[in-house]
Copies of this chain bind each other. A is one copy, B any other.
Amino acid sequence: MGGPRFEPVRAVRAYERIVEQIEEAVESGALAPGQRLPSERDLMGQFSVSRSTVREALRVLQARGLVRSRPGDPNGAEVLPFTPAALHKSMTTLARVQGLSLAELVQFRMVLDSSANLLAARLRTDEQLAEMDAAIDRMREAVEQDYDAFSAADVAFHDAVARASRNKLIQICTEVVRSIVLGLVSGRIAEADDRVALMRRSIRHHEEVLAAVRAGDGPLAARLSRRTMYDYYVGYVPAEERAALRALLE
């Protein structure tokens, strides 16, 4: 024994090499958002491949949210600024394929939101506090009239908290998971008979959370935010899964 150890090789297709090269250029910043790729016919020359191969590479890059192409555009594909769209897509797939329950999703939101509040209580700026105030004001105005406006203001509050945490990963995951959760329940909330009471209570809870953030009491803000989210969604979680949510409330 002891001969040279060989590594498994995998056949690398031509289009994958193209994906790698363009991906590298985008991620390294050599290709900035807004810039254009050469046209497909140019690229087939540059890479010495056929147009089909170029196109398959572009399809992959597009699926990853790095570029977008538009028929008829005299320029080539456009390099996109990063959006969590691809992340959102794969998380949605995850949710469907793995059969994620609403309870799991809400639980994850509780984790993210409480951590964001914990950090925000220490790191928030006065401007961010003002944003949170404004969001709660809009929630108050929207009550009894427009659930969509209420929900939007609610989202704005949580976004302000997430930004105040200064952790982009928290911000983006918050955004992604929230949109999945809202997709599952927003219709049911909008039609609920007791939605006005639910909204009023939610506003009160948000005020308490904000007070804790303002006071710099991170652990309290975190605890209250978990409670807030629990109360808001528990009615839509099957009874047998509620214990898992309560495990996050001390």
Contact = CB atoms under 8 A, between A and B. Distances in A.
Given A27-B96, A123-B247, A89 B105 contact: no
A172 B98 CA distance: 11
A225 interface: no
Given A104-B167, A248-B118, A64 B84 contact: no
A94 B87 contact: yes
Contacts of A169: 94, 100, 104-105, 107-108, 177
Interface residues of A, number: 55
A218 interface: yes
Contacts of A168: 94, 98, 100, 104
A249 to B, nearest CB: 11
A19 to B, nearest CB: 9
B108 A167 contact: yes
A119 interface: yes
Given A63-B64, A105-B169, A94 B84 contact: yes
Given A93-B86, A98-B82, A219-B250, A15 B111 contact: no
The 5 A-B pairs of least Cβ separation, nearest first, read A86-B90, A63-B63, A27-B96, A111-B115, A82-B97
